[in-house]
Amino acid sequence: MIRVAALVLLAAGSFPAAAQHPGPALNSQQLEGLRHFNQACRVCHTKPQMTSPQYAPVLNGASLGGNEGAMRAFIANGTERMPGFRYHFKPAEIDALVSYLKSVPPRVD
C-alpha cells in the first residue's frame, strides 16, 4: 500500500504544466474540466514522460487566441487531425473543459 501511494505521489509530480495549475485554486467547473482533460485530451496534448513525441499542441487559455467559442467548436467538431467530442461530452462538459483551459496560463520557456 505504501508503494502504491509513493508511486501516485511521484507520478503526480511529473505531470506536464497543463495538469499542474500553479495559479489560484480551481473552481468546481474548472476541476470538472481538468478531469475531462485528463480523460480525453492529455494523451495527445501533453508530452509523455518517455521518448514518444507530443502529438498535438500544448493547450492553455491563449489557445485559439483565447476565443471560447472557437475552443468549444474545436472540441465539439474536431479537425482533420483531432476527433470531435460532441458525442462524447455533453455541452456543459465541453464548457467545463473550456473553463479549465482558460485557467491555464501560457507556458513561458
Cβ-based neighbours of 62, under 8 Å, separated by 6 or more = 106
In terms of pTM, does the model score above 0.95? no
Write the DSSP assignment of 43-72 as a string of letters: HHHS--SSSPPP-SPPP-TTGGGG-HHHHH
Instruction: Kindly report the backbone phi and psi dihedral angles of residue 9, in degrees, each rounded to the nearest multiple of 5, phi listed first.
Output: -65, -40
At residue 109, the pLDDT reads 63
At residue 23, the pLDDT reads 56
At residue 107, the pLDDT reads 80
At residue 49, the pLDDT reads 77
In the predicted structure, residue 22 carries a pLDDT above the cut 80: no
Percent of the chain whose pLDDT exceeds 90: 64
In the predicted structure, residue 25 carries a pLDDT above the cut 50: yes
pLDDT (tens digit per residue) in 45-98: 988 777 778 889 999 999 999 999 999 999 999 999 999 999 999 999 999 999
Tallying the residues shown for the chain, one arrives at 109
Q: Write down all domains in the chain, each with its CATH number in brackets.
A: 2-103 (1.10.760.10)
What residue type is 27 in one-letter code?
A: N
At residue 68, the pLDDT reads 97
